[in-house]
A and B are shown apart, each in its own frame.
Chain A
Amino acid sequence: MPGIYTLRRARFILHTILCLLLLSCSQPERQPQEALVLTDDLGRELTLQKKPERVFAFASSMTEMLYAVLDTSTIIARTPTDDYPEAVYRKPLVSNYPVDYEQVLVLKPDLIFTVEGITPLEVAERLQQLGVPVYYQKYRTVEDIFTGIEDIGRIMGREQQSRQLTDSLRQEVASIKARHQKDEPQRVLAITWSDPIYVYGQNTIFTDKLRILGAENAVQEVFEQPYPALTREYVLKLNPDVLLGGTKEELEERFFSLYPELRRIKAYQHNRLYKPDDNLMSRPSPRVVESLRELEGFLYP
């Protein structure tokens, strides 16, 4: 009878859990290779059999982090979008979209790092079932990137290297910040696509970068999406001082020819249209300081 069977099984599981609890309380240092339990930024619990030694990332920003912190021999793959540092091209390629499960299994990673929003949760579940845990990070501020780097250092047993890196990055951020606290904040709009108009919203790291630079995101309203779609009228009302998204020629061709009405905005009138590096803008990586310097060049020419 299924009812009784289920009951028995439940009781069996309960017993097992109790025994395990007792074991873990009484003999904590007995096992030489203790299972490692991690909780990632999404609150997902991962159990690793040992300290990870073969890892890679599904997000290019995290590949950059791994290269900045780890012994490069522990990084075992790259994805099609990875392009930094140069050395990454020496690693075998694995498709992250769609995920090539078979290739992942061939590579035998102990752990895959990724960023919230880059890898769908069901993909992570599937990989988990195949025996490959996936560790998510998420970032809202520049500081989150640094704690993310330290996180990786702790998981991979490279605390010292990660600490050194984040200390120097934090110092650079502090000195950039100190330069711009007295400035009248410029209102900056960064577009990611022109038809429809998608922009960097309030809850992106971009907002924090601008804050560090003594400027502000022209989009003050908080939308559900990090990169909300806006209308022409909305942009007209924002009337940003600076528009990021392309050189003057590029924006003229892709943006203002489509929305000639927007030539009224201050950024266009005062010719403050700039083209930041796509990867520096979009990747929450250790190169965030480089990104800050680039933006600083645009805001304070």
Chain B
Amino acid sequence: MMRRGLYFILALLLILVVMLLGLQVGSFDTDAATIFSALFHYNPDDTTHFAILHLRLPRLLLALVVGASLAFCGYLMQAMVNNGLADPYLLGTASGASLGAVVVFFGFVPMTVAGLYLPPVFALAGAFLVTLVVVILGYRKRQIIPAQLLLAGIALSSLVTAMVGLFTFLSDSEGKLRSVVFWSMGSFERASWEMVPYPAAALSIALLLFAFYQKQLNILLLGEERAQALGIQVAQTRWVILGTVSVVTGFAVATSGPIGFVGLIIPHVTRGLLGATGRGNLLLCAFIGGLFMLLCDLLSRIIYPPAGLPIGIITSFFGVPFFVYLLFKKNYNFKE
């Protein structure tokens, strides 16, 4: 109990610290005083203030929300299919979103309609569409069969990835290729105040919803039969998880591209800290995911200014060693 509270406070504090650090990194020279005056005495004519409030802050918030979303959804997926190798993209969200974005980048539809930049919109549609097909394929006798769902997800992802590959190969311009490569490795560069509310709202609602479902989630880890014997509506719980994961991951991927590894590792980190069935695991998992993404974004911009390394590269670089450490740590167990 004490320990849990401590972790929450620590995570929150670190998020604040990293955000304050992140606010200082950029092309304009800004010190703590400038940050402070931009936040509390905003002057719309000052371009430095403008950059801090309209470019840096939404970017950090998007990183926070997307990191939290992916970690949270990873946790849900691992609980649902009862397997520590699951991640939020198993439903085909990432490949579907890529297909949607690529369709726009390669000019099958215009880039903008009435001032609305379409790649994220199509990415969202693609993510939902592919997820829907995967769910239909994983559906038997009025319920979701996890093993079948996994296979359907993998198969469909491969198919969609092949389609993206075909478009990429047939591309007639280097610029379009760059867009696709850049998109596929993830970025928060497009973040704006207009964009951040969507993934933030999706995540908030999901967190609220699962405040009531945490117990079911833990019992699900015991296996389908025992969960049923304990009075859990397994089928219903799975539907809630599926719906949540597809919407929350969809928004995360559509706004930032398919960023890997966060959804896989952070749930393990959380369980390593609080145990596999700790109360508040989901919330802490989201916090750590957000913190991790903020750190990765900060690093990417410090290592390779000004554009920053693609965020997916950083998450893998720093995530994988940690993951390996976790695998070899003796007292870590997926279910207990």
Contacts and interface: CB of A to CB of B under 8 A. Distances in A.
B119 interface: yes
A192 B175 contact: yes
Q: Secondary structure of the A side of the interface?
A: mixed
B190 A237 contact: no
Interface in B170-206: 175, 178-179, 182, 187, 189-190, 192
29 contacts: A192-B175, A193-B175, A193-B178, A195-B179, A195-B182, A195-B190, A196-B182, A196-B187, A198-B175, A229-B182, A229-B307, A231-B26, A231-B55, A233-B28, A233-B55, A234-B27, A234-B306, A236-B28, A236-B50, A237-B27, A237-B28, A239-B47, A254-B112, A258-B111, A258-B112, A260-B192, A261-B54, A261-B192, A264-B47
A253 to B, nearest CB: 5
A228 interface: yes
B178 A230 contact: no
- A-B CB proximity, top 9 nearest: A229-B307, A193-B175, A237-B27, A234-B306, A234-B27, A233-B27, A257-B112, A196-B182, A258-B117
Interface in B1-59: 26-28, 47, 50-51, 54-56
| Among A196, A228, A230, A261: residue with most chain B CB under 10 A | A196
Contacts of A236: 27-28, 47, 50-51, 55
A232 interface: yes
Give the contact-size bracket for chain A: 20 to 34
Interface residues on B, range: 20 to 34
Interface of A: 192-193, 195-196, 198, 228-234, 236-237, 239, 253-254, 257-258, 260-261, 264
Interface in B104-146: 105, 110-112, 115-117, 119
- Which of A229, A230, A233, A239 has most B Cβ within 10 Å? A233
A196 B116 CA distance: 17
A257 B27 contact: no
A230 B306 CA distance: 6
Given A195-B119, A237-B47, 16 more contacts: A193-B178, A195-B105, A196-B178, A196-B179, A196-B187, A231-B26, A231-B27, A233-B27, A233-B28, A233-B51, A236-B28, A236-B51, A236-B55, A239-B47, A254-B112, A257-B117
Given A233-B55, A253-B111, A264 B192 contact: no
Contacts of B278: none
A257 B175 contact: no
Contact of B307 (A231, A237, A253): A231
A264 B189 CA distance: 18
Contacts of A237: 27-28, 47, 51
B319 interface: no
A257 B115 contact: yes
A232 B105 CA distance: 19
A178 to B, nearest CB: 36
B308 interface: yes
Nearest to A237: B27
B311 to A, nearest CB: 12
A10 to B, nearest CB: 45
Interface in B289-333: 306-308
